[in-house]
Amino acid sequence: MLELRGIRKNFGKLAALNDVNLEFKENELIAIIGPNGAGKTTLINVITGVLKEDSGTIRYLHKEINVLPAYLRARLGINRTFQIPKPFSNLTVIENVRIGALFSNDKKGQTMEEEVERVLSLLRLKSLADKPAKELNTEQKKLVDLGRALVSRPKFLFMDEMGAGLAEEEILTLSNLIRGIQKDEGVSVVYVGHVMKLVKQLQCPIAVFSEGSPIFQGSYDEVTSNPAIIKLYLGERYAQS
Amino acid sequence: MGLWEVDCVRFSKQLRTSIILIALLLVFYLVAPYLYPNRSFFETLLVLTILSLSFNIVYGFTGYMPFGYAAFFAIGAYGFGIGIVRHFGLVSSFLLGGLASLALGLIFVPMLRLRGAYFAIANLAGFEGAYYIISNQSLTFITRGPYGISVSSVYNPNITYAVSLLLLVIVIVVTYIVRTSNFGLALRAIKDDPLVASISGINVGLYRGVAWLSSAIFAGLAGGAYGWYISFFYPSTVFSINYSLFAILFTIFGGPGTIIGPIIGTTTLYSLYQAVGLSYPLYSTLAFGALVVVLIIVLPEGLKKIFRKYLKWEML
Ligand SMILES: Nc1ncnc2c1ncn2[C@@H]1O[C@H](COP(=O)(O)OP(=O)(O)OP(=O)(O)O)[C@@H](O)[C@H]1O
Ligand SMILES: [Mg+2]
């Protein structure tokens, strides 16, 4: 279990995370949604060690991991993708994935190279293996980013908004991929985003973020029928009608 | 596969190229002095090639640009010289040179927190600081201060040449390992995006530090070999910013991050530098400077790009 207690993060006067208490269990799929600026990416940044929280604790495996640098958290099995995909641009696709495998959380089982091959075929990246990442389009970059994270066999994988700008059928493919990964890889996936179509397809519990803290947790239907959340997303007038 | 393991299957072609390269260099350095009997030229060329390859380990693989790099070279010469003066013996003195620049590298490690121009300038300041300490009158009993150091008691240009050649082979092998191992892959990832590298489990500071220190050691050993060869030197002889400029220009011209680039870069540009110097002794530095400016404008990424574009060959 990954446990956040009283996490606060301010940017100047702005409370990007405002006393966040959350628990993420092993082997589950959950989605976090919330309007722009709700603090979703900041939450991932704080959990993965990209940003230091102002106060609060993050516990994992009976340790307070918020005192650890990012690379040690990664080695404990906490990994992520980026909202704007960040593959290593001068490395090829296969090299990007290899980097993820260097400090695999799970040393047993397949050799590193087999694992890299497996992830490349899972994400249908094999034909691009020797292409430098900077030559890829955004969708391909997202997959490389995901491959780098996935090959490390994380216990918790935070995915920051991969669905933006996708067409209907692409959303279906992506949601199937995410569900498949969660089931087959023995990982907890926390999907962060605000493309509701995708979140619906994930068919998983949803936490709603607003102004730096979770305000509601429930199923897709519960979330979409809650007037307060509709108001949050669409404004006062829509909620009344 | 571990961090330092070199994957001989994936890199079989590169391994072959490297072996051929080493063989060619050995033949060149053993035969060429008979065709062009100028011992000092070849010894200096050897030392500068080692220096460029050492510099390349930092600049080519981590992207840091140490303008004060010559400090490692100089402190290596001094480590060697002090060892000889104190009768430590040849081998120990030579190692003392490497150790001295390792120590200086460690002192400079905090600079790695700075980036870009800030790092370059901090490193230059470090160079000046080291120069000031070594040349200081009050340390004459250790460093001979401004009066210079003589190692003429161990003067033996043939052995110096052989040792330099051995050192060249070692630094090529080390560069090969960095270039093809997972350690080198991690360094390239760090160079691209240190944040994502750390998210991938890489200890960014440690890896940069290892590259930095191994680079420092080789620069120091190169300095030791040079001091040994020239036999007597003042602080200003080895603490010359020219050695930084040489290493930077030769590496960038040849192709940073490769093995062959710094070697070709040093060989062509230093030969050119000598040729210009012989024909126009008065204007040699000016002419060379102008040449370098032209080269950098015409060939910003060095020969690496030319090789890729026209020969369709990714330089090793
Ligand atoms: N590094 C930073 N410096 C200053 N302010 C920041 C920084 N990162 C985020 N913020 C601010 O913190 C708030 C939360 O940002 P965050 O990126 O976490 O939102 P988000 O929920 O991910 O939004 P989106 O859905 O648009 O991705 C925003 O107001 C943002 O402008
Ligand atoms: Mg965001």
Average pLDDT over residues B55-59: 96
In angstroms, the CA B78 to CA B235 distance is 8
Residue in chain B closest to A47 (alpha carbons) equals B199
pLDDT at residue A110 tops 70:
no
pLDDT at residue B69 tops 50:
yes
What is the per-residue pLDDT across B33-50, written as a single tens digit (0 to 9) for each? 999 999 999 999 999 999
Cβ atoms of A91 and B189 closer than 8 Å? yes
pLDDT, residue A241, reads 46
What stretches of B63-89 show up as alpha helix (H) in DSSP? 70-85
Give the start-to-end residue ranges of the domains of chain A. Answer: 2-77+154-240, 87-151
Interface test with B, best of A72, A78, A88, A113 (most B CBs within 10 A): A88
Range B62-75 burial, b when 16+ CB lie within 10 A, else e: bbbbbbbbbbbbbb
What is the per-residue pLDDT across B156-192, written as a single tens digit (0 to 9) for each? 999 999 999 999 999 999 999 999 999 999 999 999 9
Closest CB to B186 among A89, A99, A112:
A99
Closest CB to B201 among A50, A75, A82:
A75
Contact state of A71 with B193 under an 8 Å Cβ cutoff: no
Mean of pLDDT over chain B: 91
pLDDT, residue B280, reads 74
CATH fold of A2-77+154-240 reads: Rossmann fold (3.40.50)
Contact state of B200 with A74 under an 8 Å Cβ cutoff: yes
Contact state of B192 with A88 under an 8 Å Cβ cutoff: yes
DSSP code, position A14: E
In angstroms, the CA A41 to CA B20 distance is 51
Closest CB to A103 among B195, B196, B201:
B201
Ligand 1 mutation target, pool A8, A40, A80, most atoms within 8 A of CB: A40
- What residues of B are in contact with residue A103 (Cβ under 8 Å)? 200-202
Task: Categorize the per-residue pLDDT at B6 as very low, low, confident or very high, splitting at 50, 70 and 90.
Answer: low
In angstroms, the CA A180 to CA A176 distance is 6
**From the CA of B12, how far away is ligand 2's center (Å)?**
44
pTM of the model as a whole? 0.91
Tokens 């620069």 correspond to: B219
Q: At what angle do helices B204-230 and B90-108 cross, to 10 degrees?
A: 140
Q: Which residues line ligand 1 (CB under 6 A)?
A: A 11, 14, 16, 34, 36-42, 83, 194
Residue A76 at interface with chain B, using a CB cutoff of 8 Å: no
What is the per-residue pLDDT across B100-157, written as a single tens digit (0 to 9) for each? 999 999 999 999 999 889 999 999 999 999 999 999 888 888 889 889 999 999 999 9
In angstroms, the CA B71 to CA B242 distance is 11
Percent of chain B clearing pLDDT 70 (strictly above): 96
Task: Categorize the per-residue pLDDT at A183 as very low, low, confident or very high, splitting at 50, 70 and 90.
Answer: very high
ipTM over 0.90: yes
What is the per-residue pLDDT across A61-86, written as a single tens digit (0 to 9) for each? 889 999 999 999 999 999 999 999 99
Residue whose Cα lies nearest atom 7 of ligand 1: it is: A11
Interface test with A, best of B199, B202, B204 (most A CBs within 10 A): B199
In angstroms, the CA A218 to CA B243 distance is 66
**From the CA of A15, how far away is ligand 1's center (Å)?**
10
Interface of B with A (CB under 8 A): 1, 3, 182, 185-186, 188-189, 191-193, 195-204
